[in-house]
A and B are shown apart, each in its own frame.
Chain A
């Protein structure tokens, strides 16, 4: 066949919008602290054990709770732990949680996103069942409730800037279509909601790329 050599290291470059959910959805970016430094996930996992096997990742919407939960789950899996991930959308999701706990061996890590969606009674039942099954439980929630806090996710302009630098072609963004001022402005306009700020940067990137 006759092949067009249309790719080489010299012309290799990123295609697409780096702020799309493909690259920025919860769990896709590295969990960072408020200064933009990587979190030590191994230490956090060890802390869950010290807290009696139950802990909550706390923070307001768009602060990185789900991302941290995803990455903790991945780290536990790499350690050889059995991990169950559940996203709660309504109190009815208590049933799959109990089913998962029933089928999980002792020591499993049960990761539950949006814990408050279970409601008080549902959360109490899930906690009791996790204790009976001797499973570890880590959840994301806007407020702590009865669970000891593992991390409180807070955001800063430095954190958003660090996330942007880690996106595909992030190093090339500064001085190009998106610069540090745009990132700082997106953070301010989004009141610290990182997800919202990344959506704003997505739109700005599209606007400038197309010369609108």
Chain B
């Protein structure tokens, strides 16, 4: 399973902050087994002093391919300003237990990916999403030639 991240967000009214979210996993290679514990620490940089409204953290799976996207949220938490966590340099950590399924799968026309998603909401209604993929189940990627599927 390739590893990496994807980030993006919506435009705000004149905002210049370019956040960067770093997620640290407790397993080498981010490889996890079903029902295994997942421990994560995330650091958010590049906020440029802009006030935040909330941070959402979730662990979820999604499908990726040529068809319609499917998605399941396994764990979700929203931390808002009333909890006073976001004033200076936001960071956080959490530990959850993964479910039995679905397992990560790197198919040709469909893939199942697990990721840690951190979503930052700025006070000006702009938001920023960062996803960090990890593997559940250790299934080998599909290798069948495309012609066989047609």
Task: Output the least CB separation between B111 and chain A (Å).
Answer: 7
Check A21–B141 contact: CB distance below 8 A.
no
> Given A7-B132, A212-B146, A15–B62 Cβ distance below 8 Å?
no
Interface string of B1-32 (1 = CB under 8 A from A): 01111111000000000001011111111100
Chain A residues, CB < 8 A from B67: 21
CB distance from B10 to the nearest CB of A (A): 9
A44 contacts chain B at the CB level, 8 A cutoff: no
B residues near A168, Cβ cutoff 8 Å:
6, 8
The interface residues of chain A, by DSSP majority, are classed as loop
> Given A13-B4, A16-B111, A212-B146: A7 and B68 within 8 A (CB)?
no
Question: Which B residues are CB-close (under 8 A) to A17?
Answer: 64-65, 111
Tell me the complex Cα distance, A206–B68, Å: 18
Q: How many Å from the CB of A196 to the closest CB on chain B?
A: 11
A-B contact count (CB 8 A): 93
**CA A8 to CA B132, docked complex, whole Å:** 11
Given contacts A3-B41, A207-B146, A210-B143, contact A21 B22 (CB under 8 A): no
Q: How far apart are the CA atoms of A132 and B79 in the complex, in Å?
A: 45
Q: Separation in Å of the A45 CB from the closest CB of chain B?
A: 17
Residue B83 at the chain A interface, CB threshold 8 Å:
no
Taking CB atoms and an 8 Å cut-off, the chain A residues in 1-37 that contact chain B are: 1-9, 11-17, 20-22, 25
A residues in contact with B26, CB < 8 Å: 1-4
CA distance A15 to B20 in the complex (A): 16
Interfacial chain B residues near A199, Cβ < 8 Å: 66
Whole-angstrom distance between the alpha carbons of A13 and B108 in the complex?
20
Residues of B close to A15: CB separation below 8 A: 2-6, 113, 133
> Is A129 among interface residues, defined by CB-CB distance under 8 A?
no
How many A residues, CB 8 Å from partner? 28
The answer for the CA separation of A190 and B27 in the assembled complex, in Å, is 44
Determine the chain A residues whose CB is within 8 A of the CB of B88 once the complex forms.
none
CB contacts (< 8 Å) of B40 on chain A: these are 3
Taking CB atoms, residues of chain B closer than 8 Å to A6 are 3, 23-25, 28-30
Q: Is B96 an interface residue (CB 8 A)?
A: no
**Bound complex: CA A168 to CA B8 (Å):** 9
| Nearest-CB residue, chain A, relative to B111 | A16
> With A14-B4, A15-B2, A22-B62 in contact, is A3–B39 under 8 Å at CB?
yes
Instruction: Check: B95 CB closer than 8 A to any chain A CB.
Output: yes
Closest chain A residue to B7 by CB distance? A12
Determine how close the nearest CB of chain B comes to the CB of A20; give it in whole angstroms: 5
- Residues of B within 8 Å of A5, CB to CB, are 24
A4 touching B66 in the complex, CB below 8 Å, given contacts A9-B20, A16-B111, A210-B141: no
Using a CB–CB cutoff of 8 Å, the interface residues on chain A facing chain B are: 1-9, 11-17, 20-22, 25, 168, 199, 202-203, 206-207, 210, 212
Please report B residues at the A interface, Cβ cutoff 8 Å: 2-8, 20, 22-30, 39-41, 62, 64-69, 93, 95, 108, 111, 113, 132-133, 141, 143, 145-146
The 4 closest A-B pairs by CB, nearest first: A15-B4, A3-B24, A1-B39, A20-B64
Q: A3-B93, A13-B5 are in contact. List 14 more A-B contacts (CB 8 A).
A: A3-B40, A4-B30, A7-B23, A7-B132, A14-B4, A14-B5, A15-B5, A16-B4, A21-B66, A22-B62, A22-B64, A25-B68, A199-B66, A212-B145
